[in-house]
Structure 1
Amino acid sequence: MSESTATGQKRPHVVVVGGGFGGIAAVRKLKRADVDVTLIDRHNYNTFNPLLYQVATASLNPGDITWFLRAIRAKQSNVRFLKGTVIAMDHEAKTLHLDGGLDVKYDQLVIAVGVTANFFGIPGAEEYSMPLYRRSQALAVRDKMFASLEDAAINGQDRDLRIIVVGGGATGVETAGAFAELRNNDMPTTYPELDTNRVHITLIEMLPHVLGPFHPKLRDYARKSLEKRGVDLRLGTAVKEVREDGVLVEHDGEQEFLPAGIVVWASGITAHSTVKEWAVPQGRGGRIETDEHLRVKGMQDVFAIGDVSVSPEEPLPQLAQPAIQGGKHVAKVIAAELEHKSLPKPFKYKDKGTMATIGRSSAVAEIKFMPRLTGFPAWIIWVALHIATLLGNRNRFATLINLTAKYLVWGSHNAIVGETPPVVANTPLTLDAHSPRRGAAKRAAAAKKASSKVTAEK
């Protein structure tokens, strides 16, 4: 892309960097403001991150949870979308420098880029584990899982198969529960060659419980629900190293190596490394420090919202609702300042509650003005809320159909799969319809015995 500069806006130019929950909320709230809005994102789609694990476990299509960002213009004519990655920011010149040589000037800037996985400096974690923060990462987990299963189906289970999920928060619990249900409900039908007793789902959490932010009763329910599904819970356990073939853990001073083919990282988040190049004050976890109006400290026309921002006086949970509410608040502040009106009251997060699902008919929910819920009622609310929160009716309808097929119609074992590499037999094989295919050694022994019998009969 040739070097250029976006200039000459007749109206104030508001630039929003990041097309996630907070960024879209800010853009939409500026619909009737006398401004021109540019939405910048490195992808041309929004990803509904709370359901990424459903893509990773083959229950949803990636298109079910992604929304074309350019479609935002269908109901808002004062916004333009620009695909690009912000490399640096010059706040004195009010200019963003993007990859490809493009510069974008702003009058007001909203930073809403979200966060990425935090590996806490654990050896091998970044190299060998698989986070779930992008669509491509979810697809990588899904395809690696099916590649491993197809290989075992042909070459046999000469060793146990294990998927490890690191982190006992909502993402970790939901992911482990979904993997366990796939093993328990689908694999006996779709992979009869495999012994599901030798397929393990392990959840590792440093704390002595899962779902730390929840009430102890809900934590206990989630733990029992995971155990009921056969999840191998390793609570009070620290990850010391991630290797290509598994994880080294420590519990009560004792270290143990857990062999695994897949390690899903759902433990901790941090700001993207590029934020260091943006000339903004950073606090804990690299998050951008803001004041009571989510204005970046020391900067009049720059705001930060969502997971990438932090108010040292009142840190907010890194969830969708704080980002959405923050985006709307910042839009109100920008509109008020441009119209020379008094500012709204300082931002105050309204906690509507939180929830997590473990699997079919099993969830926990803490919702304001309602009693704590578990089981089927919490699960129904979880399903309804997530479908309603998706962007676009097509996405809502497709997700409803696919989740219905997964959770309400047990007769369906149709997984949503992608491409996997060709399977190469470890030894020359001849299979028939009656072969149990439990392992190359057993197959070879059976073939040798059959051959000897035929020779004797002759």
Structure 2
Amino acid sequence: MKTVGGNGSVSDLPHVVIIGAGFAGLAAAQELGNTAVRVTVIDRNNYHLFVPLLYQVATAALSPADVAEPIRHVLGRYPNIGVVLGEVSSVDTQAREVSLASGETLHYDRLVVATGSTSSYFGHDEWRSVAPACKSIEEARLIRSRILSAFEEAERDGASDREALMTFVIVGGGPTGVEMAGSVAELARHALTADFRHIRPETARIILVEGGPRLLTAFPDSLADYAAKALERLGVQIMTNAPVERITEDGLTAGGRFIPARTVLWGAGVAPTGAAKLLGVPPGPGGRVAVCADLSVEGLDHVYAMGDVAACLGEDGRPLPGLAQVAQQQGRFLGKGLRRAIIKGEPLSAFHFYNRGNAAIIGRHHAIFDFGRYRMKGYPAWMLWAIVHVVLLVNTAQRVRVSLQWLWRYLTYRRGARIITTPVPPRGR
């Protein structure tokens, strides 16, 4: 075996192919950096996206550059890691080959699948065009444009549907929906108040719709109740026990009630990407790929899955949630494990998740943290949420940019990314 930087070539080293450069894939690649292993990271985008803050791009608090970083820049200091921009079309686990849509084929010694998740409309994909989710930069920019365009249209003299234009409905009472509703409310109540002459943005209706009996079902009742009261103080109307029945360009029908609204946003569910189909294995719980304790895919040799696509069981016997901290811990674990397995011949151990707290932010000075035995809410949780999310960003430049943006926003109540970049088609098209 030849080492990087020696007399041999990197191409002579054992080859690890990682599909996906999200939290899990990037962490695994970094653990394999500067080792006697050749690594190829494949992603359809040339950037790593910090999805937990994407909703702030959608609500004009941050710009796309604040939450995305080129993969080559992140991994550029590791000479044994290559990056391929492309989409995987098939995987042959017998021949150990990954084929790309471009026609290129890569042979691997170990394969890691970490392709993340996508939004789920629970069988109603026809709602996708009228109720965008927030899982990509393109979707975040579209949402931002729709929100800002709604205010612009309402500002016009004689706007006949002003009430519908100034009604914003967010579907889903989980952390995504709660954070989106709080951010839209703060945008309307604070950032836009001095920008218009014929309308009062602070009078906009923000409605959060949840099909179940309460918000934030993954959190204890006390924290969920606190979040609901904080949202109501921001002016958010909460509708529970209101499953969505229909969404059109004119509004939404939920719990038997029609709500006229020109802007409906989706935050109700996610689903893993088609990794199981790609690998030719039966889908596990929730459509994820069933994995063993060491994150290897059941029934396949030298193939691993992690992050949102992996049905990795926690100590309670249930699949771990699709959180950034889970994906990042799995990536670091698998990267270190593959390094020992390939270089030293050591077997992989079992993965153990260490819960560093589940969090949701509601608005200025309001957030909740659940550490299991311990709970936190209010200003301390809000500060901790901000610190954790800054630390999770991939490099120092991003941390500084986001911190300065947040500081400016905190001092002035202003949002600097209030630009419409994606054309919003007129109703009826």
TM-score by length of 1: 0.85
Instruction: Indicate yes or no: 2:360 matched with 1:356.
Output: yes
Give the conservation status (yes or no) of the 8 Å contact 1:130–1:265.
Answer: yes
- Once the two structures are overlaid, the 10-residue window that deviates more, 105-114 or 116-125, is 116-125
5+ residue gaps, structure 1, are 1-6, 425-458
SS at match of 2:129: helix
**1:18 equivalent in alignment to 2:20:** yes
- 1:100-145 deviations in whole A, cap 9, x for unaligned? 1111111100000001011111373233210111011000000111
Q: Distance in 1 between matches of 2:67 and 2:425?
A: 30
C-alpha separation between the residues in 1 aligned to 2:178 and 2:280?
37
Q: Counterpart in 2 of 1:51?
A: 53
Could you tell me which amino acid in structure 2 is paired with residue 111 of structure 1?
A: V
Matched, 1:225 2:226: no
State the 1:279 CA deviation.
1.5
* Aligned partner letter, 2:411: L
Distance (Å, rounded) in 2 between the aligned partners of 1:301 and 1:384: 37
Matches within 5 A, 1:308-347: 308-311=309-312, 313-347=317-351
Structure 1 residues 112-121 or 283-292, which shifts more? 283-292
Deviation at 1:387, TM superposition (A): 1.0
Give the TM-score, by structure 2 length: 0.91
Q: Label 1:106 to 1:277 Cα distance change in 2 as closer, same or farther (>3 A).
A: same
How far residue 421 of structure 1 moved from its aligned partner, in angstroms, is 5.2
Partners of 2:146 and 2:424 within 8 A in 1? no
Distance 1:127 1:285, change over 3 A: farther
> Could you say if the C-alpha distance between residues 46 and 225 of structure 1 is closer, same or farther in structure 2, counting changes exceeding 3 Å?
same
> CA 1:119–1:79 in structure 2 vs 1: closer, same or farther (change >3 Å)?
same
Confirm whether residue 375 of structure 1 aligns to residue 375 of structure 2.
no
CA change 1:360–1:12 in 2 (3 A) is same
Do structure 1's residue 392 and structure 2's residue 369 form an aligned pair? Answer: no
Q: Given residue 40 of structure 1, which amino acid in structure 2 is its aligned partner?
A: I
Q: Tell me the CA shift for residue 268 of structure 1.
A: 1.2
Of the three residues 72, 81, 84, the one matched with 2:83 is 81
1:200 is matched with which residue? 205
Question: Quick one: distance in 2 between partners of 1:291 and 1:136?
Answer: 35
- The structural deviation recorded for 1:215 is 1.4
Is the CA contact 1:130–1:264 (under 8 Å) kept in the aligned structure 2? yes
Contact kept, 8 Å, 2:54 with 2:136, in 1: the verdict is yes
User: What secondary structure, in the 3-state scheme, does the structure 2 residue paired with 1:388 have?
Assistant: helix
Q: Report the Cα distance in structure 2 between the residues aligned to 1:310 and 1:123, rounded to whole angstroms.
A: 24
Residues 146 and 263, structure 2, Cα contact 8 Å, conserved in 1: yes
CA shift for structure 1 position 367: 3.3
- For 2:329, give the aligned amino acid: Q
Residue pair 2:365, 2:379 contacting (<8 A) in 1 also: yes
Give the 3-state SS of the residue equivalent to 1:124 in structure 2: helix
User: Equivalent residue for 2:298?
Assistant: 297
Structure 1 residue 183, shift from structure 2 partner = 1.0
Q: What is the one-letter code of the residue matched to 1:193? A: H
Question: How has the CA–CA distance of structure 1 residues 186 and 73 changed in structure 2, closer, same or farther, with 3 Å as cutoff?
Answer: closer
Q: SS where residue 193 of structure 2 aligns?
A: helix
Instruction: Give the alignment's Cα RMSD to 1 decimal.
Output: 2.1
Displacement after TM superposition at 1:420 (Å): 6.1
Report the 3-state secondary structure (helix = DSSP H, G, I; strand = E; otherwise coil) of the residue aligned with 1:293: coil
> Structure 2: how far apart are the matches of 1:17 and 1:35?
16
Larger radius of gyration: 1
Structure 2, gaps ≥5 residues long: 1-8
Distance in 1, Cα, partners of 2:308 & 2:216: 19
Q: After TM superposition, give the deviation of residue 175 of structure 1 in Å.
A: 0.4
The verdict on how the C-alpha distance between 1:11 and 1:405 changes in structure 2, with shifts beyond 3 A counting, is same
The offset of 1:195, in angstroms, is: 3.3
Q: CA deviation at 1:395?
A: 1.2
Aligned ranges for residues 78-227 of structure 1 at < 5 Å? 78-122=80-124, 124-159=126-161, 160=163, 161-196=166-201, 199-227=204-232
Amino acid at match of 1:372: R
Distance 1:423 1:288 in 2: 38
Partners of 1:423 and 1:258 in 2: CA distance: 21
Amino acid at match of 1:288: V
Give me the whole-angstrom Cα distance separating, in 1, the residues matched to 2:353 and 2:234.
36
Deviations 1:256-275 (A, max 9, x none): 11111121111111122475
Separation in 1, partners of 2:180, 2:122: 21
SS in 1 for 2:412: coil
Which amino acid in the other structure matches residue 397 of structure 1? V
Offset from partner CA, 1:29-87 (integer Å, 9 cap, x none)? 11243100000000000110000110000010100000110013333221011000011
Q: Distance in 2 between matches of 1:407 and 1:77?
A: 41
The amino acid of 1:194's aligned partner reads: I
State the distance in 1 between where 2:217 and 2:123 align.
22
Using the TM superposition, give the Cα deviation of residue 418 of structure 1 relative to its aligned residue in structure 2, in angstroms: 3.2
Shift of 1:172: 0.7
Deviation, 1:326, is 0.9
- Mapped to 2, the partners of 1:352 and 1:326 lie a distance apart of 14
Q: Which moved more, 1:14-23 or 1:264-273?
A: 264-273
Q: Which has the higher mean CA deviation after the structures are superposed, 68-77 or 274-283?
A: 274-283
Offset, 1:157: 4.4
2:268 aligned partner: 267
Cα drift, residue 391 of structure 1: 1.2
Percent sequence identity over aligned pairs: 33
The answer to whether the Cα contact below 8 Å between 1:290 and 1:296 also exists between their aligned partners in 2 is: yes
> C-alpha displacement at 1:280, in angstroms?
3.0
Deviation at residue 340 of structure 1 after TM alignment? 4.6
Q: Deviations along 1:268-291, whole A, 9 cap, x unmatched?
A: 111224752332331133211101
Closer, same or farther: CA 157–221 of 1 in aligned 2, 3 Å: farther
Whether the 8 Å CA contact 1:123–1:242 is kept in 2: the answer is no
In the alignment, is the contact (CA less than 8 A) between 1:87 and 1:274 conserved in 2? no
Q: Partners in 2 of 1:310 and 1:195 — Cα distance?
A: 47
Q: How many Å separate the matches in 2 of 1:421 and 1:139? A: 10
Residue type at the aligned position of 2:295: L
Cα distance in structure 2, aligned partners of 1:401 and 1:178: 18
Distance 1:358 1:246 in 2: 25
Output the CA distance in 1 between the equivalents of 2:425 and 2:126.
27
Offset of residue 336 of structure 1: 2.7
